[in-house]
Chain A
């Protein structure tokens, strides 16, 4: 069961990263880009709990870091924490439709802020206050829009895989 689960989640992460860079980042949206990878990490945390959340976040963040030009490891830290926190909220959010959206919005804001602060600490000139002010509300809003598609889809996939394995 574990091998299949890890494989499926890893596949989803790679697919999310690819869709992120080839499709979502190219949409002519004002302010910022939607972060499908972050939303997926939150979904894994909310559906599967903190352990899967943080491991998925770590892996996804590492992949995003490797493809980018900022320091490798910062995205891994941020998404790892994001998945963990989402996992802690697993029980509060269960069977609610609105709560996952709030969690995604809040964690999107927190993750972007934390990432900008960490990159600033490493001497990266990009995450300026001006850039943050411009991007924060937009990216959180886009992520909230993605959430009602990603979270239920991942929940359904997980249920399906779990039941199929038991039969």
Chain B
């Protein structure tokens, strides 16, 4: 082992310079050689992530140490208990999965989205504050980049990288995520951008500073990069910013980004814009936002409300 401090420092400087060169290479726009490396790393580790992700839920507890004459019998009983416990856990997990699938199909049915069901097998594990998830479906299942990902509660995110067996999703609460959004029950025009902010609430920026917006109003995707009509969240606070060019409001997302399991990747939108049809109905006596009259004509503006921090 080399412990000459001067040579060590030289090696350190060299490694840091190489890493910083990689950073500048990665910062340049366009597809670089690093994207190929990224795809390669994800492709090689994908099957292992799938394997590990599948067994994560099945970690049982280890039996205690009993010694003496009854040890054999205790062991046998312990094995039996373990088996039964595992069966119970498996059934619970299956129930949960079924519930989540039912919710997912409820949402995708309402929006007429054709989805590929998938499971989250990994979360982003960087040193920073990235909100990404890895799904157990990939290009072999017909997944391509930029597909919208939903679950039974609403918008989860967007596919950013696909390998043959897995795909990576940029979650909608990641700070680099911007989703084109539209207020429920508003005439065409009240659109804006919903920015992710990690663990903090999302922020809706409405393009019109005079846009009427109230607490409790819900936001759905506008439909450009993301498919239209997917519920994003509910307005919790409206910021009063006189003289500002845009209206800002905090949005509590419908999806619990920290506990994702069953999701659906939207492969195709069968009908057009479902407008507010995907939002769960409110109690009839307390609907402060009646649906707008049906739009006449197919004048759906295809303005791109999405801006993205990364490539």
Question: A-side interface residues toward B, CB under 8 Å?
Answer: 14, 17-26, 28, 33, 35, 37-38, 48-52, 54-55, 58, 61-81, 84, 111-112, 115-116, 119, 122-128, 130-131, 134-135
Contact = CB atoms under 8 A, between A and B. Distances in A.
A112 B130 CA distance: 13
A51 B11 contact: yes
B23 A26 contact: no
B202 interface: no
B22 A73 contact: yes
Contact of B15 (A23, A48, A54): A54
Interface residues of B, number: 55
Given A68-B132, A127-B128, 8 more contacts: A17-B45, A25-B124, A37-B125, A64-B126, A68-B130, A73-B21, A81-B16, A122-B23
A130 B200 contact: yes
A21 B124 contact: yes
B129 A127 contact: yes
A51 B3 contact: yes
A91 to B, nearest CB: 10
Nearest to B32: A72
A130 B124 CA distance: 20
B129 A21 contact: no
A122 B125 contact: no
A48 B122 CA distance: 31
Interface of B: 1-3, 8, 11-12, 15-16, 18-23, 25-27, 34, 37-38, 41-42, 45, 48-49, 52-53, 56, 120-130, 132, 134, 160, 168, 170, 174-176, 197-200, 258-259, 309-310
B248 to A, nearest CB: 16
B16 A80 contact: yes
A26 B261 CA distance: 10
Given A50-B8, A67-B41, A72-B34, A111 B127 contact: yes
B128 A116 contact: yes
Contact of A21 (B125, B127, B174): B125
Nearest to A121: B23
Contact of B27 (A54, A61, A71, A76): A71
Contact of A66 (B2, B41, B176): B41
Which of A23, A69, A111 has the largest count of B CB atoms less than 10 A from its CB? A69
Contact of B127 (A62, A78, A123): A78
